[in-house]
Structure 1
Amino acid sequence: MQCEELEKEKCNLVEELGVYFERNEAFSPLSARIFSVMVLTGEDGITFEELLEKLEASKSSISTNLQLLQSTGKITYFTKTGDRKRYFKIAPDQMLVRLDEKIEQWKKEKELLEKVHCYKVRYLQNNRDSDPDNAGLLFNRHYIKFAEQMLNNLINLKENISNTINR
């Protein structure tokens, strides 16, 4: 009974993760589900046949999406001694790649916020009628501070994960 509940929970989680990856990683629906299964499978990997069974998709669809995920560096495969099957898993550096992308995104956002802030300050200096304690400036300063904190947290997370991987 417990095994059935756990399997049902896994199926629901594959679907929930799949929707997340579709929206945030621009994966096709099947690629997102394949990637989700691999997130839950971990280092043990999963075979082509197991993916066919779990996702109930055609061989060609699974194959095409596996090739796509491999070509984009999202997943990799390995073999086991004495076993002719290929086991697929998330690429080891995938988390670091995603963190690099997030770091770049927050750097760009912070840079844009700083440009907006500079513009607003100059605008207020040139328009004596404007409120020098403009609420927009205060919001902008808070947002820049938040972006800086996010950036520092992501950089620290990346360092911690790198150290963990390299152990």
Structure 2
Amino acid sequence: MIVLVILSCFIVVICSVIFSRVFSEFLIKWKSESKFAKLNTDIQDIHYSFEELTYFVSLPNRNPVIYHSELSHFQAKPSYRSFIFPVHEGLITTLHRGNQDINIAFMSVDQFRIPLLERWRHERKINEKEYMEMKSYVLIHKLTRAAFIEEAYRQIRRDDRILFVEEPTEVF
């Protein structure tokens, strides 16, 4: 009987560890989607800024492993602070090449700015907890992930040489 109790406790702990992040994301999604629906807003209509995106590589990057990588090799995954009781920390963009992952960029939930949510918080349409949950939801949404991947890819491949080309001056 004691073995059965210990085994049951072990199974509960393992299941809670495995499903805690999934459950957390589901809960944030469910609460946020219902709040967006109450406020007649679709996630596709929300605008945000890439301004606070932190890069772990130099920009533009001419490292051939990074520069010549295809967009399909880039991934954006949520980052968490805790394993058992996860707290959403941000979104990390990585480049998967062979057997290694190269961290490219990170957007913290705290630094992520969404003007519409900030306005709603100021107008008291949402409280602080809803504001943070909705920010987390927008950040981990598949459209936002794709946008962050595209932004990181664009920044890596940008050409800054056009900034240093002198324009011919005419003498009159």
More strand by share: 2
Tell me the TM-score normalised to structure 1 length: 0.26
Which is greater in Rg?
A: 1
TM-score by length of 2: 0.26
Higher relative contact order (CA 8 A, sep 6+): 2
